[in-house]
Structure 1
Amino acid sequence: MAEKKSTRRRGKALEEAVLSTVWTQLNKVGYEDLTISDIATLAGTNKNTLYRHWPTKAVMVISAFSKYGPEIKFELPDTGNLRDDLFGLFDYFQMALKTLTTGMLEGVLLDRLHDITLDKVTASLGEESEDNRFAKIMHQVLDHAADRGEVDLAHIGPSLISLPLILVASEILTKGALSDDAVSQFVDQILLPSYLNSAH
């Protein structure tokens, strides 16, 4: 009797198998020791297939976290002034970061920053940009500030739009956490003066 060949996973079945394996291994061995080879073996596929769907380990981990990680609800801050809106934005960052282990987060950031050159980080964030979601949030925060007469959007370029995210990434990579003191420094000494000066 001929041996029955196993059916290769495709589509949703493949995604489920891979991402559940990534999430299990991530929590078991951590980001640094998580390997594409192990994921392929445990998920019953091969590395080439994985790379066609997830070009880097960081992208794979982010996808797994989005599917299996705790839900982090975000409400756009609209407190009536830009300073408090920025603190509200960083509250979200801190809440999101607490759901990740430091090792995992540092690994993802290092991999992503390795892949993204400075010109891409500071480039115009268009509809096809992977950072577009954050750009939209910042535009909304600054739109509210502009409506209140706090800022002049014509003088706020892409580098200032992406600055909060860059500050967060830098702090995590150097300190391993985003402290309240760091947030206060970012808002009062860097971001608020930069944004408010645009109106003068």
Structure 2
Amino acid sequence: MSTAQRRRGAVLEEALVEAAWTELNRTGYDGFTIDAVAKAAGTSRAVLYRRWPNRAALVHAAVRAHVGSIADVVPDTGELRQDVLATLQAIADRIVLVGIDVMTGLLSELAELPEALATTVPDVFERIVRRAAERGEIGTGHIPDTVLQMPAVLVRYEMITKRTVPDVEILVDELFLPLVRHHATN
């Protein structure tokens, strides 16, 4: 008679995240439930709730495990425009990979996610802009958070409402860079 090995720690968490990813791909965000993930992982809801306080947090963990974060690799091409384009393309690619419906579901429950998540995009764009200022490409004036958030918000909006990847060059050339240059002027 063999006894099943009880999963713990990182092994258990990986199994839970994998079960969540599988369930998310099977049902989409609307059909995703903690109960179904617990059943698929062969565990209880309590085990999941000890790690993630709600379904949005669990979905975010599964998404992050499979597509990473834009903060993981911030482009550094040596040119502000190219860095911004590469970052926006990475955001759009992640949305496509995860699925627009899943992203829409997550955004609808943004208040359920860690507060630090809301600063990820502006932090990435702030790093890109700071490097451009250090290279002398732009001035060193303060860029408001609303400007730093804007390109990613517009990409998400276009993808959610029009169900297509927007022309990121227009967003960068006609909106973001003029605003950055305006604010960065000393």
How far residue 140 of structure 1 moved from its aligned partner, in angstroms, is: 2.4
Contact 1:109 1:173 survives alignment (8 Å): no
Q: 1:174 aligns to what?
A: 161
Separation (CA, whole Å) in 1 of partners of 2:141 and 2:128: 15
Q: 2:47 aligns to what?
A: 49
State yes or no: 1:156 paired with 2:143: yes
How far residue 152 of structure 1 moved from its aligned partner, in angstroms, is: 3.4
Identity %: 29
Contact 2:88 2:152 survives alignment (8 Å): no
Contact 1:18 1:43 survives alignment (8 Å): yes
Q: 1:111 aligns to what?
A: 109
Alpha-carbon displacement from aligned partner over 1:162-183 (angstroms, at most 9, x marks no partner): 3223223323332233222xx2
Match of 1:189 among 168, 174, 177: 174
State yes or no: 1:67 paired with 2:46: no
Separation (CA, whole Å) in 2 of partners of 1:186 and 1:56: 34
Contact 1:31 1:103 survives alignment (8 Å): yes
Separation (CA, whole Å) in 2 of partners of 1:83 and 1:7: 52
Contact 1:54 1:60 survives alignment (8 Å): yes
How far residue 191 of structure 1 moved from its aligned partner, in angstroms, is: 0.9
Separation (CA, whole Å) in 2 of partners of 1:68 and 1:155: 34
Separation (CA, whole Å) in 2 of partners of 1:71 and 1:146: 24
Aligned residue pair count: 182
Q: Aligned letter for 2:35?
A: S
| Unaligned stretches of 5+ residues in structure 1 | 121-128
Contact 2:67 2:94 survives alignment (8 Å): no
Q: 1:27 to 1:187 in 2, by over 3 A?
A: same
Separation (CA, whole Å) in 2 of partners of 1:88 and 1:143: 16
Match of 1:24 among 22, 25, 38: 22
How far residue 133 of structure 1 moved from its aligned partner, in angstroms, is: 4.5
Give the TM-score taking structure 2 as reference length. Answer: 0.77
Q: 2:85 aligns to what?
A: 87
Alpha-carbon displacement from aligned partner over 1:177-197 (angstroms, at most 9, x marks no partner): 3222xx233212321111010
Q: 1:55 to 1:177 in 2, by over 3 A?
A: farther
How far residue 32 of structure 1 moved from its aligned partner, in angstroms, is: 1.4
Q: 1:78 aligns to what?
A: 77
CA RMSD of aligned residues (A): 3.2
Counting helix residues as a fraction of each chain, which structure ranks higher?
A: 2
How far residue 8 of structure 1 moved from its aligned partner, in angstroms, is: 6.2
Contact 2:84 2:125 survives alignment (8 Å): no
Q: 1:27 to 1:77 in 2, by over 3 A?
A: same
